[in-house]
Amino acid sequence: MTQNTTQTSADQGQVAFQIRHRESIIGSYRTEIAIAIAIIVLALAVGSQVPQALSWGNFANITQAGAPLIIMSLGVLLVVITGGIDLSVGSVFSLTGMVTAQAMAHGFGGFEASLIGLSVGLVFGSINGFLVTIAGLAPFVVTLITFAVAGSLAFIVTNGRSMPIGDPDFWLLNSGSLVPGMPNYILFCIVLLVAIELFLKKMVAGRWFYAVGSSAQAAHLLGIPVKRTMFLAYVASSLLASFSGLLTISYILNAESTAGSSLMLQAIAAVVIGGASLLGGTGTAVGAVLGALMITVIQNGVNLIGINSFWQGSVTGVAILIAVLIDRFSKSRRGAG
């Protein structure tokens, strides 16, 4: 009898723990769930006007169009969580494409050229990280400088001309299938999403990013390597921007010096829509990916319905406003509770 009672209590405790765990997951992803619902509502609204919007083909369109932005947003997120900003990602994206295409034009194979392209991200990320952490310059100023320099170099590399991709197999990077049935661009997005989310949530080094963003001084007093963490954030951001650029040129088999010009603001917008604060200390990879998806769905919807594309910026602006208001409202409720 006593044993039965004990058993029942243990079961109840287990159930209560599971419910609390589920609630804590839901609670910690409240903003992301709201964005996911908003995306679904948006897609349904577009689908009510243009039925093809809900087709499998259009899903492929959205994921393909959104993949570079998703990857870039994940990098920008890391910087934003530490309380910084990276304005150079669009230019690094363009320069990577131009350098990679130029390397192929000089006889390098796709793989070697890609490594050369990725080195652009490594170099610019290191410059950003060095100037912010060692020289102590403001991230806005530093990345504004590298934005200008990388953007300028993207023109210099080929004198402003677009460059076709020389390696005929280079399309496999984007559209091949390392996992049967799944195009690589989706695979890369999923792998990076899971890896960065787990890193931020489950690993000590990931937690340092939040600590640095919440208060660099406090983090320093706690023994967290603040400068190293910030440096890594900038390097990761530029590397992911470079990778995003590689994926894009692999898709369209052309490199353009202006290709990334609109992506920087979109990436920052995606991160903010996803619940990250530009003051640092908050944000999730899931949120950044959903933010990027929302921007892509808006662009897709505007095109499908046939609204003048100049409205895209306004619609995206309203989406950011709504996301920020939802986030603020939910935080104030939690605070009141």
Partner 1 sequence: MRKGQYNAGFVEEEEMKSNLHKHVALATVALAMTLGANAAHAQEKKTVAYLAPSLDISYWQWVGYGVKQKAEKLGMDYVELTSENSPAKQMDNARTAVTKGVDAIVIGPVSSTSTPPLLAYLKSQNIPIAFAGIGPQPGQTDYTSSVTANNYETGKAQGSFVCKLAKERGGNQVGMLSLPQDRENAQKYLKGAEEAFKADGCDLAQMLETRGLTINEAVTQANDMLTAHPDIKAIYGMYDEAGTGAAKVLETRGLTGKVGIAVADGSPTTIGLLKANAIQGIFFQEAVGQGIDGTQQVYNALTGAAVKKDLALVMPLVTADKVDSPEAKAVIARVFPPAN
Quote the CA–CA distance of 145 and 277 in Å, as a whole number.
23
Please report, as a single letter, which amino acid is at residue 77.
Answer: L
Q: Is 190 in the site for partner 1 (CB under 8 A)?
A: no
* 68 in Cβ contact with 245 (< 8 Å): yes
Q: Is 252 a residue that touches partner 1 (CB under 8 A)? A: yes
310 binds partner 1 (CB under 8 A): yes
Structure tokens at 57: 């083909």
Cβ of residue 311: shortest distance to partner 1, in angstroms? 10
Give whichever of 286 and 319 is closer to partner 1, judged by the CB atom. Answer: 319
C-beta closer to partner 1: residue 128 or 146: 146
Q: Which is nearer to partner 1, 26 or 182 (CB)?
A: 182
Give the burial class of 64: count Cβ atoms within 10 A of its Cβ; 0-12 exposed, 13-18 middle, 19 or more buried.
middle
Smallest gap from residue 132 Cβ to partner 1 (A)? 28
Least distance in Å: CB of 123 to partner 1? 22
Residue 171 C-beta: closest distance to partner 1, Å: 10
Residue 168 touching partner 1 (CB under 8 A): no
What single letter denotes the amino acid at residue 58? N
> Can you tell me the distance from the alpha carbon of 304 to that of 309, in angstroms, rounded to the nearest whole number?
10
R_g of the chain, CA atoms, integer Å: 22
* Of 312, 320, 323, 327, the one binding partner 1 by CB under 8 A: 312
Those residues whose C-beta lies under 8 Å from the C-beta of residue 88, and which sit 6 or more positions away, are 124, 128, 143, 144, 146, 147, 150, 238, 241, 264
Check residue 56 for interaction with partner 1 (CB under 8 A): no
Q: Within 13 Å of residue 299, how many CA atoms lie on the same side as its CB?
A: 18
Of 137-145, 160-168, 279-287, 322-330, the window that binds partner 1 (rule: CB under 8 A) is 160-168
Considering the complex, state which of residue 65 and residue 122 has its C-beta at the smaller distance from partner 1. Answer: 65
* Size of site (CB under 8 A) for partner 1: 37
Could you say whether residue 254 binds partner 1 (CB under 8 A)?
yes
Dist CA 302 CA 309 (whole Å):
7
**Of the residues 186, 261, 281, 326, which one makes contact with partner 1 according to CB under 8 A:** 261
Largest CA distance in the chain: 86
Question: Which segments of 253-337 are extended strands (E)?
Answer: 254-255
- Nearer to partner 1 by C-beta: 118 or 302? 302
- According to the binding rule CB under 8 A, does residue 61 interact with partner 1? yes
Which of 7, 18, 262, 332 touches partner 1 by CB under 8 A?
262
The secondary element (H helix, E strand) that includes residue 230 is: helix 226-252
| Residues whose CB falls within 8 Å of the CB of residue 321, separated by 6 or more in sequence, listed in order | none
By the rule CB under 8 A, 155 interacts with partner 1 = yes
Binding to partner 1 in span 280-299, by CB under 8 A? 299
Pull the structure tokens for residue 49.
């006007």
Q: φ and ψ at 182, to 5 degrees?
A: -125, 120
The contact set with partner 1 (CB under 8 A) reads 50, 52-53, 55, 57-58, 61, 64-65, 155, 159-162, 164, 175, 248, 251-254, 256-259, 261-262, 299-300, 303-306, 308-310, 312
